[in-house]
Chain A
Amino acid sequence: MLQFLSKLAARSPWIYRINAGSCNGCDVEMATTALIPRYDVERLGCKYCGSPRHADVVLISGPLTLRVRDKVLRVYNEIPHPKVTVAVGVCPVSGGCFRDGYTVGADIDHYIPLDVIVPGCPPRPQAIMEGVLKAVEIWRARLEESVCSHS
């Protein structure tokens, strides 16, 4: 029964975006091509939410700049469990073309566990979709684990 419920629940992943100092390229890909109007993730049950407290799947773009680092970590901690993280673009994992910049500290995965990495500068919309699908798979496993461990 619980397993069945968690399977149903896993069909409603809500997406939240964090811009950790991105140049906006990846954000444009996420907002305008990949996630809502053209390729329609709503058919998978996804929904963009404005508040981190409603989120299940977190998309992070940009090299973690020193100025936003604490704020990103704070927002990340406000997301209720179970959650899953997707790094969109090369910046979150390596800093991309900003890697030598004086404002860029360590890579994001020193602070936040990254579950799926979607490389590209910016990545193609299809790649972002695939990343979201993989993240939903991981999230489903975590959801089942947390639901079944409560009982």
Chain B
Amino acid sequence: MTNVLEAVFAILIFPGGLFVLALGLLLKGVDRKVVARLQRRVGPPLYQPALDIIKLMTKETLIPDTANEVAFRLAPVLGLTGMLVTAALLPIGGVWNGVTGLGDLLVLLYLLPIPAMGLMLAGGSSSSPYGALGFSREMCMMFAYEMPLIASFLAVAVRVGGASGPFLSLPAIMDYQFQHGPLLLDPVMLPAALALVLFIPGTMGHGLFDIPEAEPEVIEGPLLEYSGPLLAVFHLMSAVKLVVVLELAVALLCPNPLVAAGGGGVLVNLLWHICKCLVLLMVSVTCFRAATGRLRLDQGFSFFVKYTSPLALVSLWLAFLLR
């Protein structure tokens, strides 16, 4: 019973739910502000994404006559719920070990594509040709960026497990890094780390990979027909997803806390964790999207197949050899 209560608390309040929503909106605000400063603009205030959500909540909801209404309303909720559960699973070094017994890396592999599924459902049910185009683009990109993700997960698992076979449990991966130093500093894991850094803009659809929701090409694709509160849920989903992929990369590569857990240490470690997320955000999302333009769908697909997947596979191969 306490386990159930703990899981519900983790999904709704911390580290999922409210915490992750607030952090996601803040990170989005930082991202927009820094991009504006990089382009020598003033930029919006840091809390602009929260204002956008409030605005969308007050607007009217329009649903196209030809759309499948049930699927149309369900799609954003599905995506947001999936991401909140994922956020509860992810451990934070020195603060939180993840909900025990809810899952490991394999479950994460199933949970991570849920927002993309939500977008596909949205595009497919909206009965708009641009929605359908966004659907197919989202699906192509998903096939492309899942491969490096799976390969780098396996590389981490094999490296951590060593001679005793791959370890898929997240707390075990954290423990290994507490004892042997972060995997980010492990030369064997460097290619996989680079692959993970490239996976983040791929799955978020930023910079080179802003393909499924390309505004000038497919008019925001799956989101085209959404308005009002339903669109707000999609924006929340994308904010939570941003935190989830950043936290995931931090947990796999560098979860080490600053001070020992317990007492005031938890707060320090939490701030330290947010700092790590911010640095990763700057590298893999903000600077990346300020510096690059969009690729075509086939170019984006072959980028992941040609460059990102081999990087992760090199790590996997090395980890196998050095077991």
In-complex Cβ contact of B54 among A8, A43, A51, A78 (8 A): A8
Contact status B59-A43, CB under 8 Å: no
* B41–A40 CB distance below 8 A: yes
The answer for the CA separation of A3 and B219 in the assembled complex, in Å, is: 33
> How big is the A interface, by class?
20 to 34
Contacts of B39 in A (CB 8 A): 37
Q: Which residues of A1-41 have CB atoms within 8 Å of chain B's CB atoms?
A: 5-6, 8-14, 37, 40
The reply to whether B62 and A5 contact each other, CB–CB distance below 8 Å, is no
* B224-A51 in contact (CB<8A): yes
* B241: interface (CB < 8 Å): no
Residues in chain B near residue A48, CB distance under 8 A: 215
Chain B residue numbers with a CB within 8 Å of A45 are: 44-45, 48, 51-52
In contact, A37 and B41 (Cβ under 8 angstroms): yes
Bound form: Cα–Cα A12–B56 in Å: 9
A130 CB within 8 Å of chain B: no
A126 at the A/B interface (Cβ < 8 Å)?
Answer: no
- Within the complex, the shortest CB–CB distance from A139 to chain B, in Å, comes to 10
CB under 8 Å from chain B, chain A span 46-85: 47-51, 53-54, 56, 78, 80-82
Task: Answer whether A40 and B36 are a contact pair too, CB < 8 Å, given A5-B54, A80-B60, A80-B61.
Answer: yes
How many angstroms from the CA of A143 to the CA of B54 in the assembled complex?
A: 12
A50–B224 Cα distance when bound, in Å, is 8
CB <8 Å contact, B58 and A147: yes
Q: Known interface pairs A12-B52, A37-B39. Does A43 touch B61 (Cβ–Cβ under 8 Å)? A: no
B104 CB–A CB distance under 8 Å: no
- A51, B219: Cβ atoms under 8 Å? yes
Does B181 interact with chain A (Cβ within 8 Å)?
A: no
Whose C-beta in chain B lies nearest to the C-beta of A143? B58
- Tell me, rounded to whole Å, the shortest Cβ–Cβ distance linking B47 to chain A: 9
CB-nearest residue of chain A relative to B225?
Answer: A53
A-B contact pairs, 5 of them (CB 8 A): A5-B54, A6-B58, A45-B44, A48-B215, A54-B226
